[in-house]
Amino acid sequence: MTVSFGSFLSQLSDPALQCVVFLTLCVILVNGWTDAPNAIATAVSTRALPFHTAVRLAAVCNLLGVTVMTAFNASVAESIYTIADFGGDVRGALCALCAALCAIVLWSAAAWVFGIPTSESHALVAGITGAAAARPGGLSNVQGDTWFRVVLGLVVSVILGFLLGRLCGFPAVRDSRRSPAFYRRAQTGGAAAMAFFHGAQDGQKFMGVFLLGVALAQGRRDTETFLVPMWLMVLCALTMALGTSLGGKRIIDTVGHEMVCLDARRGFAADCAGALCLLLCTLCGLPVSTTHTKTAAMLGVGSSVPGHPPDWKIARSIVLTWLLTFPGCGVIGYFMARIFLSFL
């Protein structure tokens, strides 16, 4: 599936496709606003970087992550593109996809109000699943093998992120040769790496949704020649960068101050662990969440040092939100799709 910019513009007169494009860009914007702060949370909380400087750094690295990694390996976008079958009815399929995107925006906005870092990645999967289940065929419209990859990515990213956090945390804390100032400077690179892989992962997912909307408008779903056009990479990257520039200090305060208190050494270790985990998952084509990965890495580093444990009460509330994302956003997507479809 590949779409030239000219053919895309020629289809944009369709109001249903306009709605899908607008909602997809809204979700990308919200993702850059609510997910990206996790990438820079440690650098800001340890005062290695001023908030606004960290936001600008994340915006640039998100852009690079989307374009570079997608050109190299677009398997994450393809996983989202093939996760559900909305049927051959063009109007019904586009309405269901719009319902899924609305569900993501509602769920993410509610989580942001409470300052809880949720995952638009898994809200995306849940919303699409719920909306597809509202179409004729029900849950048989959902591709089980792709869903398995999503669940596998969720489990792997949390466990691997936590273990890598502990592994990186021990030598960083015990390193007496380098000063805290060295680690504060090193955190600039760590935050850049996290933001890069945030773009590589999350930017790909939403490009997959974008292409899905265009394909549904054309009444086709050819996955054998899946190619992401450069114009779409740039559009999604710039939208995510704009969302990142809006900041997200509320979420940074939750994970970077209240959940676990990290100094420069442990903050750098958390960045390294999170970036390494995202790199491995992206190369394997697993759709994972930057939020889950970075939070797990921070908890792993925080638990590696006796006397400075994380606030497990806050951690439990975050994990509970993660667990509720699949059923909660899925149910919202289902009922919104039923409502939207009732107007056809």
Whether 254 shows a pLDDT value over 70: the answer reads: no
Give me the mean pLDDT over the 10-14 stretch. Answer: 73
Looking at residue 336, what is its pLDDT?
92
Per-residue confidence at 331, pLDDT binned at 50, 70, 90? very high
Percent of the chain with pLDDT over 70: 84
pLDDT at residue 58, rounded to an integer? 81
Mean pLDDT of 129-153: 84
Q: Name residue, tokens 């048989």.
A: 140
Report residue 286's pLDDT band, with 50, 70 and 90 as the boundaries. Answer: confident
Quote the CA–CA distance of 49 and 180 in Å, as a whole number: 14
Rg, Å, the chain Cα set: 20
The tokens for 55 are 């936001």
The answer on pLDDT for 247 being more than 80 is no
Task: Give the integer Cα–Cα distance in Å for 275 and 108.
Answer: 23
What pLDDT does 333 receive? 92
CA 189, CA 326: separation in Å to the nearest integer?
A: 33
* Reported confidence tier of residue 232, pLDDT bands at 50, 70, 90: confident
Give the amino acid at 257: H
Q: What is the pLDDT of residue 335?
A: 93
What pLDDT is attached to residue 160? 93
What is the spatial distance between Cα 333 and Cα 102, in angstroms, rounded to a whole number? 8
Can you give the three-state secondary structure of 124-187, one letter per residue?
HHHHHHHHHHCCCCHHHHECHHHHHHHHHHHHHHHHHHHHHHHHHHHHHHHCCCCCHHHHHHHH
Report the alpha-carbon distance of residue 122 to residue 95 in Å, rounded: 20
DSSP annotation of 305 reads S
Distance (Å, whole) CA 91 – CA 12: 14
User: Which residues make Cβ contacts (< 8 Å) with residue 309, sequence separation at least 6?
Assistant: 302, 303
Q: Judge whether residue 146 has pLDDT over 60.
A: yes
Phi, psi of 142 (to 5 degrees): -90, 135
**pLDDT higher than threshold 70 for residue 4:** no
Please check whether residue 97 is in contact with residue 86, taking contact to mean a CB–CB distance below 8 angstroms: yes
List residues bridging with 84 in a β-sheet: 142
> Whole-number mean pLDDT of the chain?
80
Q: Which residue has the tokens 């994450």?
A: 76
Residue 273 amino acid letter: A
172-181, 222-231, 276-285, range with greatest mean pLDDT: 276-285
User: Which range in 131-140, 294-303, 316-325, 329-338 is most confidently predicted, on average pLDDT?
Assistant: 329-338
Average pLDDT for residues 113-117, to the nearest whole number?
Answer: 69
More confident residue, 99 or 224: 99
The pLDDT, as a whole number, for residue 83 is 79
E-strand ranges in the chain read none
- Contact yes or no for 78/334 (Cβ under 8 A): no
Three-class SS of residue 129?
Answer: helix
What does each C-alpha distance from 334 to 15, 138, 139, 213, 221 come to in angstroms?
22, 10, 11, 18, 22
**Nearest to residue 99, comparing CAs of 142, 131, 125?**
131
Q: For the chain, what are the domain ranges?
A: 5-342
* Count of helix runs (H) and strand runs (E) in the chain: 15, 0
CA distances in angstroms from 303 to 107, 173, 283, 306, listed in the order given: 30, 12, 28, 7
Tell me the average pLDDT across 263-270: 84
pLDDT of 321: 80
Q: Which two tokens stand for residue 54?
A: 């960290």
Name the nearest CA neighbour of 326 among 114, 143, 154, 96.
Answer: 154
Estimate to the nearest angstrom the gap between the alpha carbon of 102 and the chain centroid. 16
For residues 202 and 267, the model is more confident at: 267
Nearest-angstrom CA–CA distance, 301 and 292:
14
Give me the count of residues in the chain: 344
